Amino acid sequence: MSTAQEFRLPDLGEGLTSADLVEWTVKVGETVALNQVLAQVETAKALVELPSPYVGVVRELLVEPGTTVPVGTPIIRIEGPADPRDPQSPNVLVGYGPTAEQPSRRRSRIAPHPQPRPTPERRPATPSARRAAREAGVDLSEIPGSGFDGAVTAADVADALHSKAPLDKAAQPTSSGIRKQMASAMVGSTRAPQASVFLTSDVTASTELLGRLRSSDAFTGLSLTPLTLAAKALVTAIASHPMVNAHWDEARGDAVIDDHVNLGIAVAAERGLSVPNIKSAETLNLVQLARAVTALTVAARAGVTDVHHLTGGTVTITNVGVFGVDGGIPLLNPGEAVILCLGSVSERPWVIERKIEVRSVVTLTLTFDHRVLSGEQAARFLSFVAEMLADPDLLLSHL
């Protein structure tokens, strides 16, 4: 016995309500496996590959390439064996979106019937790794794979790109859609009562530690920056300040602490700002966190972030210091209670035991949801983060 399942465009995260179907990677009559990539869609944030939640034969492609499709719209029909153990078939991968509407046509730079692009590399690799490699012009055959059965992962591509030229972004124009999404997110953010606290700290010891770690074998090929160490301090401090990893639940009228720290990394690219997140960051050691930050940043700048990493963030860190800025007041990522802003690490005169010395100094800013945290809680948390960056032995003792 067989049954036909309709796969609906999933909720792709960050408040996105639609996506453009770029191309199908399957055709009618083809047998598809579980998690096989069915199609590629483009959102205001990234190019996303949609894996199949079903096993079976493609019976109908319901949407043509070049179509703008609202979330929740059926896009493909797959016929497969009925599973008596699963009385309720899933319709989306991430979550149910708005009520399905009829897809709308719009002018598109995408050809209505694109030809399959050649894929000369047959090296085992994850879909996100293949996409990142194509965008960056990297030959997968030259990259060692660390994934299952030697498959190349996005992190492996990130490692390979670390010593190469930056990604070519000239061909990726700024999208007005991105601006709309950024504006929508910021409007949503300002609905929360926000406040900020600041602290300038001597991080000379952390700067020296980063220099030693960069020369160690464990961090070979990884991008190890002040952001990485600050992210580790942020995640570590949450263990003793759990309310930082909470969100305000409107229905309950109360704050709810999240089970895992899904650390958002604000990434600025030609396509605009995105905030992909590292799942369960509290379980990662410093090497693993550096690898995850590198992979996520490379994927975001190439516009190939996996759907999984675009939703479910619980706290965010942003680094304005890379632009030579001393500090800033960030706005909360919607649904989160805290965002930490890292300013530029620079040499400044600093008083130590009534003597002026030249030290590496940074300004940290913590913006918080005042419904979730009090000013005292926020100040104590920021002080603890700064204390670990000032004395990295304290941070390492918590690893």
Catalytic residue set: 370
Distance separating alpha carbons of residues 322 and 330, to the nearest angstrom: 15
Distance separating alpha carbons of residues 383 and 177, to the nearest angstrom: 38
Tokens of 36: 């096989």
Nearest to 199 by CA among 355, 398, 340: 340
Please say whether the beta carbons of 345 and 361 come within 8 A. yes
Cβ neighbours, 10 Å, residue 398: 13
Find the radius of gyration of the CA atoms of the chain: 23
Those residues whose C-beta lies under 8 Å from the C-beta of residue 117, and which sit 6 or more positions away, are: none
Pairing of the two strands 74-81 and 56-61: antiparallel
Nearest to 43 by CA among 225, 245, 306: 306
DSSP collapsed to 3 states, 150-197: HCECHHHHHHHHHCCCCCCCCCCCCCHHHHHHHHHHHHHHCCCCEEEE
Tokens of 64: 């043509």
Residue linked to tokens 């100094």 = 361
Nearest to 78 by CA among 6, 168, 9: 6
Those residues whose C-beta lies under 8 Å from the C-beta of residue 233, and which sit 6 or more positions away, are: 385, 388, 389, 395
CA 243 to chain centroid, in Å, comes to: 22
